[in-house]
Amino acid sequence: MPRAPATPHNSDAFNLGNISDALTVAANIGGIPTYNAMAYNAPSHPLLSVHISKYVKFTVTTAGTNYSKWRQIITSLLTMYQAIDHITEGAAPAAPDAVWLAVDIHVSLWFLATLSDDLHRLVQGSDGHACSTWTRLRRFFLDHGSSRYLYLSKAFHNCPRGDLSVSDYAAKLQGIADDLAAVEPPVDDRDLALAFLDGVGGSSNSRPPS
């Protein structure tokens, strides 16, 4: 039985070097403008390699849960990669280049991946730029600030410890305080400490002696 010829043992065993030529020929059929895919140089920026799922493992909903934490993560990443202009009103260049546009789309994809569908529909900017979505998102939570503040303030001052460990209870209180900071001046450190001591003491006193 005849056998297939052996595969050449060289760096171009799969004829990758000729792929761009084949694409060029195919693209020219019927007068279609030539597009050499292999020659395309994608925009390069260190932020484009950042996967937001590594840092944000939760979804922000219209209820605003974890919004302040989400905002802090996004702001920190953009500051670290010197791309804070993408969420700063009036900071976008008049004539953005390909790299700036690619980063802006990348940040917009972060929003799409970390905001709930209904929240994203409410805040997505009509021009598609990340800053528009960021600004509308902030205004959305500010518009609902009064009712949200009352809810969070009540939750903060009446936060039971239950069966939580001391560290988990402290983290829970800090999370509510962070959410409060998104709509009102931050919770004073003294108030945070007193709420924590009250919760720990109240929880301990309510448990039967071992």
Q: Tell me: the pLDDT tens digits for 159-190?
A: 888 888 988 888 888 877 877 776 655 556 66
> What are the residue ranges of helices labelled H in 115-144?
117-123, 130-143
Residue, of 125 and 60, whose pLDDT is higher: 60
Report d(CA 36, CA 17) in Å as an integer.
Answer: 13
Residue appearing with tokens 């598609």: 128
Q: Specify the length of the chain in residues.
A: 210
Selection from 172, 170, 179 nearest residue 200 by Cα: 170
Q: Looking at residues 78-87, what average pLDDT do you find?
A: 97
| Per-residue pLDDT at 109 | 96
Q: Domain ranges in the chain?
A: 1-40, 46-143, 145-206
Q: Is the pLDDT of residue 208 over 50?
A: no
End-to-end CA distance of the chain: 84
Q: State the alpha helices, DSSP H only, in 12-116.
A: 19-28, 67-80, 98-114
Per the listing, tokens 């009509």 go with 126
The yes-or-no verdict on residue 136 having pLDDT over 80 is: yes
Q: Which residue has the higher pLDDT, 107 or 182?
A: 107
Using CA atoms, how far apart are residues 34 and 28, in angstroms rounded to an integer? 6
Token match 């410890």: residue? 161
Q: What residues are paired with 60 via a beta bridge?
A: 115
Model confidence band, residue 207 (pLDDT cutoffs 50, 70, 90) = very low
The pLDDT of residue 91 is above 90: yes
pLDDT in tens, 3-32: 544 444 443 333 333 333 433 433 443 444
Residue 3: per-residue pLDDT: 53
Residue 47: per-residue pLDDT: 96
